Structure 1
Amino acid sequence: MYQVKAPENKADFKRYYQFRWQWLRAPWQQPIGSEIDDLENQAIHRFIENEQGQIIAVGRLHKTSQNQAQIRYMAVDEQYQGQGLGKLVIQSLEQEAVKHGVTQITLNAREVALVFYQRLGYQLAEKSHVLYGEIQHFLMTKSLNTLDDNKTLLSQALTCTWHNTIPMSAAMNMKVNYFNGEQLFTSSDLAFNKNLHNTMFAGSIYTQATLTGWGWVYFLLAENKLEGDIVLANAEIKYLAPVAGAGVGFTNVALTEGDITTLSQKGKARIRVEVHILSGDKVAAKFIGQYAVIAAKD
């Protein structure tokens, strides 16, 4: 069975870009390098290999705003077309889009691919550009549901709590993208949070990371039917790379230490949460917060 993967190192990216050039640029005599644009570092990249480890399908998704994204560079080796590989890549990109808070995806499809995308739920909007003077493209769109249905109300409650009690979070437009009990993704609006380099302001990165960790503890309390006041006791952050697009915060069970149930036994609990701020697939910052929880008084 074929698996969709993300490039993990320079060698993977070299093969990935080579495949993009081979199938999307070389047939039209475009030079090597034309398959790469300035959004690669803030994008989500996916590929599929055959049994020999050769890449046979690729696709990319990048956010165009806090809640919108575009799919580009879709290609499947001619020898493997008709086996559902393109569908697997699209589904993988859509799953990541949901976690990153995307409510609408757009793409520009070649005429020969219109039926393929329509079968996957994309709606034809209008004619778009003509590539290399001969390849007509069509704008297509699809709406996504960004929250796990079972967690929607809890996620909305957290977003409201942030906005009502922490004015900075409302100004940043901090939102819960996705929460399923195992993972938490948050987002904020780059338009408000960008610096003079058009990347995310370091203070906004720190704030989003802090609130993402705080939100994880909030969910722990809710899921264990406990009440308490959450405060950040200690924190450290490492900035690893610029956040070039709309900021996305991430944490999960594996990045968390501590037992929230001690709150009911001792009246207090201490939870360590590691939060990653993502720029596409890349971890751009790592935050570690120690959160103290004090039992709510009657």
Structure 2
Amino acid sequence: MYKVVTPKSDAEFEAYFHFRWEHLRQPWNFPPGSEKDEYEQVAEHRIITNRKGDIVACGRVHLNTAEEAQIRHIAVHSDHQRKGLGQMIMAALENVAKDLGAERAVTNSREISIDFFSSCGFKIEREAPNELGMLKRQQMVKKFTENNSLILHPKWCKSLQETWSETIPITEHMGIKLYQYTGRTLETRASLNKNINIHGTMFAGSIFSLATLTGWGMIYLQLKERGLDGDIVLGDGDIHYHKPITMKPRAICNIETLSGKFKPLENDNKARFELSVAILDGDTPVAEFEGVFYVLPLSKNEEE
């Protein structure tokens, strides 16, 4: 399972800066220390870690003005590329920028990164100053709106939200909304006000429901990706709580946690899947959910 984490201790920052240098500066023969600049103390830093706690991606954001945020130092370990981690770190940084009140984000992209930033909604505005005096870059801009998060296959995502509302009424009562879907990562969010207990924190049962529906939603969208259909049911669910949620309930399911075979459904047989969902309060991990889901072929259900 991948987690977005904010480095806090000296050791975490040391590992973070080393990762930045190793992936963004060392390939160009720049010495250690060249990965840092004058904005480190006023910037927000984020890393993605794997199950072992190793850093596999990183990024940084700081405000240029009250309205403009600058995103820099996006890097993903070569062994973990093409898993949606670039979009995952970008989404985390954009959320930080929006929380800080920014109305737009800018980034100075090298030629090899333009396609990635374009896929995240950025557009080339003009040529930017060369990086470290030699690396040619283009300045790219993304204007924030109420909902310009990354939504792949918007029709499927709309269908999922409607299915939740029509067949799982608790979704509406909890204020659960699909926030983004990249094809590899599904993020949902819930209303804290609709799920708050006498302690001012989110009900444990609501957290479990948010995790379950997010896992359910990931399987729903993966069925759509393959042109399949079926009734999705929860077989078993286990959740570990670490901290209460007091601000912004979020659930993230990454496709790398999904295991199981879709082939049985093609032959009208039941399929079994396991997956993990990370629960966060803003960017702070607070719980992990492990679920077993079954997909029942529609033809057999209709016969019964």
Q: TM-score, normalised by structure 2?
A: 0.60
Asked if 1 retains the 8 angstrom alpha-carbon contact of 2:7 and 2:13, the reply is: no
Partner Cα separation in structure 2 for residue 207 and residue 213 of structure 1: 10
Where do residues 141-180 of structure 1 align in structure 2 (5 Å cutoff)?
A: 142-143=144-145, 144-148=147-151, 150-180=152-182
Q: 1:55 to 1:245 in 2, by over 3 A?
A: farther
Where in structure 2 are the equivalents of 1:72-151 lying within 5 Å? 74=62, 86-88=70-72, 98=91, 105=98, 107=100, 142-143=144-145, 144-148=147-151, 150-151=152-153
2:281 to 267, 279, 282: 279
TM superposition shift of 1:13: 6.2
Over 3 Å counting, the alpha-carbon distance change for 1:152 and 1:12 in structure 2 is farther
The residue identity in structure 2 corresponding to 1:193 is N
1:237 match = 239
Residues 15 and 99 from structure 1, CA distance in 2 versus in 1: closer, same or farther, beyond 3 angstroms?
Answer: closer
Instruction: Report the alpha carbon displacement of residue 11 of structure 1 after superposing the two structures with TM.
Output: 2.1
Identify the match of residue 52 of structure 1 among 32, 42, 50: 32
Q: Give the Cα separation in 1 of the matches to 2:105 and 2:183.
A: 34
Question: 2:225 and 2:101 mapped to 1: Cα distance?
Answer: 42
Q: Which consecutive unaligned segments of at least 5 residues does structure 1 have?
A: 17-46, 62-72, 77-84, 122-140
**2-side partners of 1:219 and 1:99: how far apart?**
22
Contact 1:268 1:292 in 2 (8 A): yes
How many Å apart are 1:101 and its aligned residue?
9.9
SS at match of 1:275: strand
Distance 1:101 1:158 in 2: 24
CA distance in 1, matches of 2:93, 2:169: 23
Give me the whole-angstrom Cα distance separating, in 1, the residues matched to 2:104 and 2:190: 35
How far has the Cα of 1:105 moved from its partner?
2.4
Give the superposition deviation at 1:7.
4.0
Unaligned runs of 5+ in 2: 26-30, 46-60, 75-84, 109-121, 124-142
Partner of 1:203: 205
User: Aligned residue for 1:220?
Assistant: 222
Identity %: 29
CA distance in 1, matches of 2:105, 2:223: 45
Measure how far apart 1:232 and its partner are. 0.5
- Cα distance in 1, alignment partners of residues 93 and 203 from structure 2: 19
Which of 273, 279, 298 in structure 2 is aligned with 1:296?
Answer: 298
Q: Distance in 1 between matches of 2:105 and 2:293?
A: 48
Superposition pairs for residues 54-73 of structure 1, below 5 Å? 55-56=36-37, 57-58=39-40, 59-60=43-44
**CA deviation string 1:38-96 (max 9, x = no partner):** xxxxxxxxx977853575334349xxxxxxxxxxx9479xxxxxxxx944279x99975
| 1:160, distance to aligned residue in structure 2 (A) | 1.0
When the two chains are superposed, the root-mean-square deviation of aligned CA atoms in Å is 4.3
Instruction: Work out the CA distance in 2 between the residues paired with 1:116 and 1:227.
Output: 39
Q: Is the CA contact (8 Å cut-off) linking 1:247 and 1:277 kept in structure 2?
A: yes
CA offset at residue 213 of structure 1? 0.6
